[in-house]
């Protein structure tokens, strides 16, 4: 293969990587509103079971397609084979979850037939139980693969703890036919995937170097301590702030200059604290932003095209195909 042919092939691969990344992002962004829509319909309990089953089908179908796109992108990037194979396993498991509502009913109550005392006397085959079980089993399989691939003690301990939590979720939540927790975890994973793709080109080591050189962590920590301290005081001196979380919400609105207006300070102490916190927050936010922008271009490394696949010979490529 000539140099021009290799360059053209590399360009085609990079084009495929960009295309699959865009499709993956679109599918992931579609998954989140569908999942939140199901959770809202489940909480209000005013939606027909057929519509709730349709929500489940769409959520897991979109999730399955997202995993397939990620597996394709990983294969084009020449990632370790175990990574993109695991993504395909996820895609298959979530496709099974999407197909289950066609065969199992949806019940708004618990998934067990119960007598008058509430004791379960038989399983009614609620689709939420089986979907939840498949979802958690897929995630457990992924953690097992991570343990096999990475033997570092810290990673092994973390994966074992995650397996235990997922096993408890599979045994507990599926017993009561509740997949809401599974869908919340799905939303969290989807957001994490979006964050990873969006910031794939950001050099995290450069950001850490900025934090070390400019004491940004100490500045942010001081702001957080000030927020907690002022929240504690505002909880007692303001009649309109009844709880500590409400005080934190108010301080957050002050620091970020959003100003929702749902909570206001009326006492003299509250207004003085608000002025101090507002000025301090504006200064810190502006300072941190300018530091990151100015220093990032100086300390970052030159882009080394992380998405670019490695050179491989024809025999290796034919073997992988």
Give the model confidence (pLDDT) of 273-289 as tens digits.
888 888 888 888 787 77
| Residue scoring higher pLDDT (290 or 318) | 290
Residue 319 lies in a domain: no
Q: Mark whether 156 and 289 lie in a shared domain.
A: no
Half-sphere exposure in the Cβ direction for 257 (13 Å, CA): 9
Answer whether residue 313 shows pLDDT above 60.
no
Domain boundary among 177, 200, 223: 200
Beta-carbon contacts of residue 26 (< 8 Å; ≥ 6 apart): none
Average pLDDT, the chain: 79
Torsion angle defined by CA atoms of residues 172, 175, 178 and 181, in that order, rounded to the nearest 10 degrees: 20
Rounded to 5 degrees, φ, ψ at 106 are -115, 125
Predicted local confidence at residue 99, as pLDDT: 93
Residue 320 lies in a domain: no
Residue 312 lies in a domain: no
Q: Mark whether 211 and 184 lie in a shared domain.
A: no
Torsion angle defined by CA atoms of residues 123, 127, 133 and 139, in that order, rounded to the nearest 10 degrees: 180
Residue 94: band (very low, low, confident or very high) from pLDDT cuts 50, 70, 90:
very high
Which residue, chain included where needed, has tokens 């490695």? Answer: 310
Residue 309 lies in a domain: no
Q: Mark whether 42 and 177 lie in a shared domain.
A: yes
Answer whether residue 319 shows pLDDT above 50.
no
pTM of structure: 0.68
Average pLDDT of span 243-248 = 87
Q: Mark whether 97 and 29 lie in a shared domain.
A: yes
Predicted local confidence at residue 91, as pLDDT: 92
Answer whether residue 200 shows pLDDT above 50.
yes
Q: What is the CATH number of the domain that holds 292?
A: 1.10.287.70
Q: Where are the alpha helices (DSSP H) in the chain?
A: 3-44, 49-76, 81-99, 127-149, 153-172, 180-198, 204-214, 216-237, 244-255, 268-299, 314-320
Residue 87 lies in a domain: yes
Q: Mark whether 118 and 132 lie in a shared domain.
A: yes
Average pLDDT of span 66-90 = 87
Q: Where are the alpha helices (DSSP H) in 101-243?
A: 127-149, 153-172, 180-198, 204-214, 216-237
Q: Mark whether 266 and 292 lie in a shared domain.
A: yes
Q: Rounded distance, CA 72 to CA 68, Å? A: 6
Q: End-to-end CA distance of the chain, in Å? A: 18
Residue 39: band (very low, low, confident or very high) from pLDDT cuts 50, 70, 90:
confident
Query: What domain range includes position 282?
Result: 206-299
Residue 217 lies in a domain: yes
Q: Rounded distance, CA 18 to CA 12, Å? A: 10
| Residue scoring higher pLDDT (68 or 130) | 68
Domain boundary among 139, 165, 200: 200
Domain boundary among 200, 233, 254: 200
Report the number of distinct structural domains present in the chain: 2
Answer whether residue 302 shows pLDDT above 60.
no
Residue 117: band (very low, low, confident or very high) from pLDDT cuts 50, 70, 90:
low
């Amino acid at each position: 293969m000539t140099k021009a042919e290799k360059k053209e092939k590399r360009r085609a691969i990079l084009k495929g990587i960009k295309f699959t990344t865009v499709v993956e992002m679109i599918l992931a962004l579609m998954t989140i509103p569908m999942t939140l829509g199901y959770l809202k319909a489940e909480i209000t309990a005013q939606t027909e079971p057929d519509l709730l089953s349709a929500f489940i089908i769409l959520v897991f179908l979109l999730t399955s397609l997202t995993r397939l796109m990620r597996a394709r992108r990983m294969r084009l990037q020449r990632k370790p084979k175990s990574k993109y194979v695991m993504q395909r396993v996820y895609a298959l498991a979530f496709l099974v979850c999407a197909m289950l509502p066609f065969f199992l009913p949806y019940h708004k109550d618990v998934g067990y037939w119960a007598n008058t005392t509430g004791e379960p006397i038989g399983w009614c085959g609620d689709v939420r139980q089986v979907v939840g079980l498949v979802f958690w089993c897929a995630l457990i399989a992924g953690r097992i693969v991570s343990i096999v691939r990475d033997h570092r003690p810290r990673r092994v301990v973390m994966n074992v703890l995650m397996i235990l939590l997922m096993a408890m979720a599979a045994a507990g939540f599926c017993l009561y036919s509740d997949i809401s927790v599974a869908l919340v975890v799905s939303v969290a994973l989807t957001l994490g995937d979006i964050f990873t793709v969006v910031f794939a080109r950001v050099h995290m080591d450069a950001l850490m170097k900025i934090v070390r050189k400019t004491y940004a962590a100490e500045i942010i920590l001081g702001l957080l301590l000030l927020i907690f301290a002022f929240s504690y005081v505002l909880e007692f001196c303001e009649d309109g702030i009844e709880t500590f979380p409400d005080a934190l919400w108010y301080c957050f609105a002050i620091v970020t200059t959003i100003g929702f207006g749902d909570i206001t300070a009326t006492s003299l102490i509250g207004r003085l604290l608000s002025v101090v916190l507002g000025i301090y927050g504006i200064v810190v936010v502006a300072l941190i932003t300018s530091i990151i922008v100015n220093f990032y271009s100086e300390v970052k490394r030159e882009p080394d095209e992380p998405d670019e696949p490695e050179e491989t010979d024809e025999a290796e490529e034919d073997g992988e195909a």
